[in-house]
């Protein structure tokens, strides 16, 4: 039985994750914490922490996880370079998985983008379009930035257009435009539950892993 602590437990993502844990036969909710609660008070009872909170909180939770040698899965977006460095530092003491998007489908999309960018020469120009709900603070999204990372020569990317509309969960598309042809790779999220399911998959995978910094590509590799 894998014991899990969920941060941001009262939020939409936290609620989805807790629901999936309750439906599972191999997972147990050790604790759900939110604003005003202390992870330090309950962390010893967990095998894995799943964190969808804020950048500052994620850094704190990663540091606590490192101190207590507990694996942590972080789905928080909007981290700056300093915060990302702090989280990676924690990975020297415990297993840390950070992904800007926990969706299995989105992470398959990243792989496809990397393959397409390698196969298509520099005569193809690249455009990225992404749309999220109006409440999303980071722009462009962490997913859009990761899409850019999949292209070795970033000069090929002519546009990254970010839109914030209504309650859109997440739409992402990359277009490779060449002579007489266009290749499009896209992903449409119909529910936030896909991110919760991905986080649960990541938690199962990371339990018992050695210290290190991991991402969803490691999970998909099944190693």
Catalytic site includes residue 136:
yes
Are 108 and 98 in the same domain?
no
Q: Residue 191 class from Cβ within 10 Å (0-12 exposed, 13-18 middle, 19+ buried)?
A: exposed
Domain containing 89 equals 2-102+193-221
Q: What pLDDT, in 10s, does the model give residues 15-59?
A: 999 999 999 999 999 999 998 899 999 999 999 999 999 999 999
Are residues 75 and 34 both part of a single domain? yes
* Candidate list 136, 145, 193, 209, residue with the active-site label: 136
Q: Which tens digits make up the pLDDT trace of 62-120? A: 999 999 999 999 999 888 999 999 999 999 999 999 998 899 999 999 999 999 999 99
Separation between Cα atoms, residue 47 and residue 28, nearest integer Å? 10
Same domain flag for 214 and 181? no
Q: How many CB atoms lie within 10 A of CB 12?
A: 13
Active-site annotation holds for 132: yes
Catalytic residue among 16, 70, 132, 172: 132
CA 129 – CA 83 distance, rounded (Å): 26
Distance CA 65, CA 85 (A): 15
According to DSSP, residue 150 is labeled T
Which letter, b or e, does each residue of 51-86 get, where b requires 16 or more Cβ atoms within 10 Å of its Cβ? bbbbbebbbbbbbbbbebebbbbbbbbebeeebeeb
Q: What is the tally of structural domains in the chain?
A: 2
Q: What is the pTM of this model?
A: 0.85
């Amino acid at each position: 039985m894998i014991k899990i602590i969920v941060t941001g437990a009262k939020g939409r993502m936290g609620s989805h994750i807790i629901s999936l844990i309750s439906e599972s036969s191999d997972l147990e909710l050790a604790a759900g914490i939110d604003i005003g609660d202390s992870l330090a008070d309950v962390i010893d009872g967990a095998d894995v922490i799943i964190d969808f909170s804020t950048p500052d909180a994620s850094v704190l939770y990663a540091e606590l996880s490192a101190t207590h040698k507990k694996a942590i899965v972080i789905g928080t977006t909007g981290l700056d370079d300093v915060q990302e460095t702090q989280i990676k530092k924690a990975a020297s003491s415990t297993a840390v998985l950070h992904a800007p998007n926990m969706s299995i489908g989105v992470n398959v999309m990243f792989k496809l983008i990397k393959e397409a960018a390698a196969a298509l020469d520099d005569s193809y120009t690249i455009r990225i379009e992404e749309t999220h709900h109006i409440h999303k603070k980071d722009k462009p999204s962490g997913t859009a930035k990761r899409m850019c990372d999949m292209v070795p020569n970033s000069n090929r990317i002519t546009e990254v257009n970010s839109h914030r509309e209504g309650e859109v969960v997440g739409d992402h598309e990359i277009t490779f435009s060449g002579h007489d042809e266009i290749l499009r790779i896209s992903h449409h999220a119909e529910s936030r539950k896909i991110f919760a399911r991905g986080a649960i998959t990541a938690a199962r995978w990371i339990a018992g892993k050695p210290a290190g910094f991991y991402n969803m590509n490691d999970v998909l590799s099944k190693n």
